[in-house]
Amino acid sequence: MQRAIFFDKDGTLIENLPYNVDPSLIRFMPGAAAALVALYTAGYRLFIISNQSGVARGYFAEAALAGVQQWLASQFSAIGVVLDGFSYCPHHPAGRVAAYTTICNCRKPAPGMLLQAARDHQIDLGQSWMIGDILDDVEAGHRAACKTMLVNNGGETEWVFGPLRKPHIMVRDLAAAADVILATDAYRPIRRAPAALFQEVLM
């Protein structure tokens, strides 16, 4: 069983441009690249867990997400790390596209995407983290029995708390998130990115 970091996509890992599926407009959030390198080097497997209700709302076709996944995988590779999985939920109960207008077990705050990724990749959820910028991400992490972290960068605006919506830790950005994780968990390097990439990313 392996440890993993599950990242929310929009507003956490990449800049939040609502319903965007144009890879040319995708940009990493500040500190994201350095965090990915540090966590990958420490042996964590890296996953993206994303609600994509734009499919259900009719804003873009589900097939468009393949281009987003390819871009993200290429950007991970460019800094010497591996994107182990990209999971998305295309559903929304108030959608306009009938095939996707449903209540499901994958749309966060439900834990379905995390549970499936754990089954597919032999992930120890109790030794893994869910990181997001809203409390729905935190709740999904708790429901999957992960440790949870909220990146408090303005993404959460409603602040509806509950027993499952209190993050274990709150940070300002992904660079701080990586620092906290590596200080909290036992640091046992398993694989290393090339030193040149470290220097390029961290400068």
**Do the beta carbons of residue 155 and residue 11 sit within 8 Å?**
yes
Helix H or strand E encompassing 86: strand 85-89
Per annotation, catalytic residue among 10, 84, 136, 173: 10
Amino acid at 64: A
Per annotation, catalytic residue among 8, 84, 133, 137: 8
Instruction: Indicate if 8 belongs to the active site.
Output: yes
Which residues does 76 contact at the CB level (< 8 Å), separation at least 6? 36, 46, 82, 83
Instruction: Indicate if 133 belongs to the active site.
Output: no
Rounded to whole angstroms, the Cα distance separating 172 from 196 reads 27
Q: How many residues does the chain have?
A: 203
DSSP state, 67? H
> Catalytic residue positions?
8, 10
